[in-house]
Chain A
Amino acid sequence: MSTSMNYLDGNAAAGELSRIFAMDITSAEGQCANCGSKRRFAEAHLYMQCPGLVARCALCGHVVLRCVNTQQHIFLDLRGMTYLALNTTQQQEASS
């Protein structure tokens, strides 16, 4: 879809978004509100070299998530997703 390859993916946003989401977001399934495709958030195209974080649908390029850190708030825009399904059963594996 994009020829410029200047994007990362949802994995790169995991640290930033861990401030908001108690559960792992990269393995969450999201549905794009524009084209209806259902993908893991890890597969979203991520643009972080801008004044905020912008995640786009890998299929159609529509913005599925935006996030901005101001001094006092985190602004979150999730309009681009019909839903985001986070896995409540996934456990952090204990080190052995």
Chain B
Amino acid sequence: MNRLFKKMFVDIWKLKAQFISIFLMCFVGILIYTGIEGVWNGMQNQIQKYYIESNLADFWINGIDFSESQVSEILNLEDVINVEKVAIVNANIENDFDTEVRLIVKESNEISKPYKVDGEKYINSKTGIWLSSSYAKTLNINVNDKVTLRYGDSIIKASVLGIVYGPEYVSYIGSSSSIMPNPSKFTYAYVSKDILEALSGSLKYNQMGLTLKESCDKSKLKTEIRNVCKSNYIGSFDRTEYAGVSNYINKVEQIKKMSIMFSAVFLLLALLTIQTTMKRIVNKQRTQIGILKALGFYSWQIELHYSLYGLIISSLGAVAGYFTAPYTVTPQLLNLQKEFYDVPFWKGETSKISIILIMAMISVCTFTAHKACKKVVKELPVYSLRDENSRYGKKLFIENFNVFWNNISFEWKWTLRDVFQNKSRTIIGVIGVLGSLTLLMASFGIQDSVKKVNQNIYGNQYSYYKKIGISNISDEEKGNAESILQGDFQWISEGNAEVRSKSRVKTCAMNIIDNGYYFTITNLNGSVISLPNDGIVISETLAKELGVSENEEIKIYELSKNYVVRIDKIISINTPQAIFIASAYWEKIGGVFMPTSLLVGNNSNIVDIENENYSKDVHLLDFQLKEADDVLRSIKAIIFMLIAAAVLLSVVILYNLGLLSYTERSREYATLRVLGFYNSELKSLIFKDSVFTIIIGLMFGIPCGVQFLKIYVGAVSTSTINYFAYLSVVSFAIALTITIGCSLAVCYLVSRKVKSIDMVEALKSIE
């Protein structure tokens, strides 16, 4: 057996290109999967840990000045475990950015407890402020520093007692018009009771955080809460509806789906390549197996020997990938996420799936090697010592088309017969090209799709110059603003409402839109949807969640009122996934249209409006588009990694196959050299073989790429943004160029080997 071990290492060295390719496929396959799994699994586990530690609420009720009796009644509801009153007031911190700050007072600090990073633990009775970690870091504020808070005309200086993370504010963007966190513009902070009371003049609890039993029926709970809170009720949200929490969950899901889908395709292709390569390596050792048998080695020794080929190489590759990922891919990608989320714990963590995947990969390699050698080991040595004579010519069906067949060169005849004779090799080559193009199209396409959707939203759907956040505007102020803007404006109200369908209750976004052309609802086809005056329009994603169809009636709850409305149209829209109502219709059915935003064009009088008390914040459309594109950064690294993997996949598969094909034909090439073929003619022969594979691969790769992109984009869509598949001509051309370029480059590398053909080999017998 020792000799066999030695032989194995000699063989591995001799066939290093093939073994390196198997090593690389195992390494990269596991590296990518484990690397990205480390990110989403780590994010998922760490957030769970954080949520458990902070006792994050399962449910939130927003309202106006909840009374003690209401809190007690909520606590007595069947599914409720605990309740905590929270007072929230939006104020400002006086600094260069005039940061809008959400000030929070927690009554008992038992639910959704802030996580302390520095300073003291939050206690609502101790005078001071606990700033969010992201804000403190951005503005370089430390414990014991002082900040000045402003609420209307009231100004208070508060001492910073601690730096914290708020578990409910993992992704706090502050305004519905913001796209990504900007702590200098919007932040949150916990304050003592006395500070909030002194600042706002009173302490009114307007939120309740609830912890629930696992078996809780949330639709039922919403109804019960509404009945308890009555006119104090505004809305209620579970974790999937509460933006500060759900954005993070959505992102984890997005990364998870992206990595699983890509890895599944990559690993499938890798396993296919490994299987083919292992089989061919063992088959090439056919005569050696015969010799070993003739020498008296037992079958099990030979089988073990060749199984070890697969076992050792795949184990080395897979294990190396597994241990490299946590130090390379995972931390790089996690660092990118840190920018977007306020979470105290960041740690990459792999799951059992990685281990299962490694075992599967090693098993496939070992099993393939074993299976291939078992077939030969079963034969009598006299047969295995003979050449298998696998390379036999065979007439093809297309040869019956004489006009075609008689007019093609012998090179093409040779190539075509070779292609059809070695079907599995051809199929793997085609799959290599197809797989590479599919993955590249998906990787480029996901970027294009996100960008296209952003352009569609901040360009077609919203076409204003500025969006001014409005609060508590009076009719008189509204009239004045309209006259200042001379008709160049549009009022909209963006809020949440509880919607009840026949089967479900859900808190969802509701947009009430006034006349104007700065917010045009466009569906995914780009066609403009006009809002009816006798019904509402609802987005497809939301319609699915509510289980409703067109012309069905739903009930909208807003404050203490409810409205029964007919669904006029269900539309596919990128975002928001909401209910859209014309302001005129809303008022017709008895609602009060209270705009939350004013959309304006590039008007010189805007400054006058911005300076009014009702103006909260201002967002430039261009900046919103930039912010939306910036979100791409969080997935861009993943996309680039996937592109690199796709390129590596095609290079490894094609180089490997090219090399195997070249080795199998080397005697024929040597003969042709002896007969007087120039190197260039032999190279052209090798190219023809590859060209066929490339063309077929591309023919199938393009439709596969389109389909995969559609599925891929569908998978990364979230409950708030619905992406559609889009691949720009430039991206398609790049994907095509990379695939063809890699294929040709590999072909060139393989064809260079003709220079070193040993013609004397042609004169020797076949070993």
- The answer to whether A and B interact is no
**Interface residue ranges, B against A (CB under 8 Å):** none
